[in-house]
Chain A
Amino acid sequence: MRLSRLSLVLLCVALVAFGLMMVSPIDPVDAYLGPQMAQVSPEQRELIAQRWGFDEPPAVQFGHWLRQLVSGDLGWSHVYNQPVSEVIGQRFQRSIALLSGAWLLSALLGFSLGVVAGAKEGSRLDKVISTYAYLTASTPAFWLAILAVLLFSVTLGWTPTCCAGPTGTLSQNVTLATRLHHLVLPIATLALLGIANITLHTRARMLELMRSDVAIHAFAQGASRLDVAWRHGLRHASLPAITLAFASLGELFGGSILIEQVFAYPGLGQATVAAGLRSDVPLLLGIALFTALFVSVGNMIADTLYGVIDPRIKQGNL
């Protein structure tokens, strides 16, 4: 049941993405040719269009793509001149480091900050954390990224300005330390925004708990605020944190597109932009499907974790 619902979601995502590409004003042949556009005769253009199947009606094109998909072939990316699955595979390897780093950092740091702020409501620490959270929650990711590049890469020179490794070096020869060095700033920028959201929600849940009957009863047993926060607070506050952390996977993907543009980091986000701008339908559909799958799996994990933490939420047989 779950699986059939998931495939239905994926089909819808593919349909919408395909529809959007069809109404996009970018002509795939023009985009493919680029500056050589002027040197190509209309006959040659027609030949290219025929070769890629652009001359057929959209429904036929989509049906063709779907048939290929069922047999396990995601198609051919004309931007990278590689099978789509290979492009996604390579790019995702680089993106996963960025995404998982940012995700873990924002979830763990956001949760701990929220718990501390909520448990010590009204203290100076709480005020500092809340102010920080409100400020970063209202900051656009790309703007923060530009500022970070200007400050740390250009002015201070601490971190590289671009890419996943030094330019002109083969990727096999890049050491782990260099890779991490290139990742620090993108991860930090991407995480900074996720932190704020999770902190604010965790803090709100903590405040609610510290005033609840559960907390008053614990105080009546002689518990300190720390005791209540540790024994009861962590459990209660982890529910909104888990929801947000897994629901924000999609946002994280969106954020990574912007961040990868700013830092010129050759990950999946950059490939998405390239595919969109140059009308690479198979690649874009492939990425859309992959992202949807990724986010759905994230939500499924969150659903399962709920049941573990809150016994009142029982897994139904859906």
Chain B
Amino acid sequence: MLTIDQLSLQLPLYASWWKRDWATCLDAFSLTLSPGEVHAVVGASGAGKSLLAYSIMGLLPTPARLNGQLYYQGKPLDDIRQRQLRGRELALIPQSLSALDPLVRTQRQVAWAAQRAGQSSAHAWRSSQQALDHYQLDARAQQAYAHELSGGMARRVLTAMAHVSQAKLVIADEPSVGLDPHQRQRVLAALRGLADQGKTVMLITHDLRHALPIADRVTIMRNGKRVETAPANAFQGTGDSLTHDYSKALWQALPDNHFSTSETSRTPQLQQEANVA
């Protein structure tokens, strides 16, 4: 479905106003996503998760240095193809709720997303209605403005916008952040539903616990590098089937696993990052 091959990303860093350094945000990152799976990408803040999403979508700021290759359905995914496929085959559920236009009613925004995916305006209006119904957003929510929606509702609107485009690859960037357990369940279940329809879902999150129930595979990311990709069921018990120390430490540091930091007590930095995660 999507193959990421040795992707490296550098962004300019201005140490002082005359000197430009390059900060490495992704470092030879490789990953393959298969159809019908929810693939969780887990890492601490600053691990490069969101930048990975933007690299796949082709939405990086202009002075970025990108190396390596992306393949979508076997063919290279370059700038031109990204532009063609954005909104039609590739969809992004953004991290920030401010991605909703505060001046436009919910249903109209969803209909715009459908139109941008190539639907006629009448068809787009109908499918926007269906998508919003599908995510249990009632008539009032459909006619509401973004500030009138709760966090969970706004998340579901963003999911509906990705859903309505019929995209085959959906990247969800921190979709469960700041939601209460009930709302989180609904949003995550919606993503699982997309994968069950045969779509590929890349779930970007910093919270391993929330990703595990719906994920098929989990990739742990750290400092722009892939640490390990493991099936979701490897994260159980003491995590013995995990190959990498960092993944084990991350797993064992979770509150349900007794906040154990035994593996990492020798490396304070690791411990700190595990706590962040």
Chain A residues in the interface with B (C-beta under 8 A):
212-214, 216-223, 227, 231-232, 235-236, 309-312
- Verify A213–B94 contact, CB threshold 8 A: yes
- Verify A310–B103 contact, CB threshold 8 A: yes
Determine which of B57, B87, B96, B104 lies in contact with A223 in the assembled complex, contact meaning CB atoms within 8 Å.
B87
- Verify A221–B94 contact, CB threshold 8 A: no
- Verify A222–B145 contact, CB threshold 8 A: no
Judge if B274 is at the interface, Cβ distance under 8 Å. no
Contacts of B165 in A (CB 8 A): 221-222
Determine which of A219, A220, A232, A309 lies in contact with B101 in the assembled complex, contact meaning CB atoms within 8 Å.
A232
CA A312 – CA B91 in complex, angstroms? Answer: 28
- Verify A309–B117 contact, CB threshold 8 A: no
Expressed in whole angstroms, the minimum distance between the Cβ of B147 and any Cβ of chain A is 5
Determine which of A219, A231, A235 lies in contact with B112 in the assembled complex, contact meaning CB atoms within 8 Å.
A231
- Verify A217–B99 contact, CB threshold 8 A: yes
Judge if B161 is at the interface, Cβ distance under 8 Å. yes
Determine which of A216, A231, A309 lies in contact with B59 in the assembled complex, contact meaning CB atoms within 8 Å.
A216
Could you list some 20 contacts between A and B, CB below 8 A?
A212-B98, A213-B98, A214-B99, A214-B100, A214-B101, A216-B99, A217-B92, A217-B94, A220-B59, A221-B113, A221-B161, A221-B165, A222-B83, A222-B85, A222-B88, A232-B101, A232-B103, A235-B101, A311-B148, A312-B102
Known A213-B96, A220-B91, A220-B92; judge A312-B145 contact (CB<8 A).
Answer: yes
Contacts of B186 in A (CB 8 A): none
Known A217-B92, A311-B145; judge A223-B99 contact (CB<8 A).
Answer: no
| Majority secondary structure, A binding face | helix
Which chain B residues (93-140) contact chain A, with CB distance < 8 Å?
A: 94, 96, 98-104, 112-113, 116-117
Which residue of chain B has the shortest Cβ distance to A238 in the bound complex?
B103
Known A213-B96, A227-B116, A311-B147; judge A220-B87 contact (CB<8 A).
Answer: yes
CA A289 – CA B91 in complex, angstroms? Answer: 58
- Verify A214–B112 contact, CB threshold 8 A: no
CA A309 – CA B103 in complex, angstroms? Answer: 7
Judge if B86 is at the interface, Cβ distance under 8 Å. yes
Which residue of chain B has the shortest Cβ distance to A236 in the bound complex?
B103
CA A221 – CA B111 in complex, angstroms? Answer: 11
Which residue of chain A has the shortest Cβ distance to B105 in the bound complex?
A311
Expressed in whole angstroms, the minimum distance between the Cβ of B103 and any Cβ of chain A is 4
CA A312 – CA B147 in complex, angstroms? Answer: 7
Contacts of B104 in A (CB 8 A): 231-232, 235
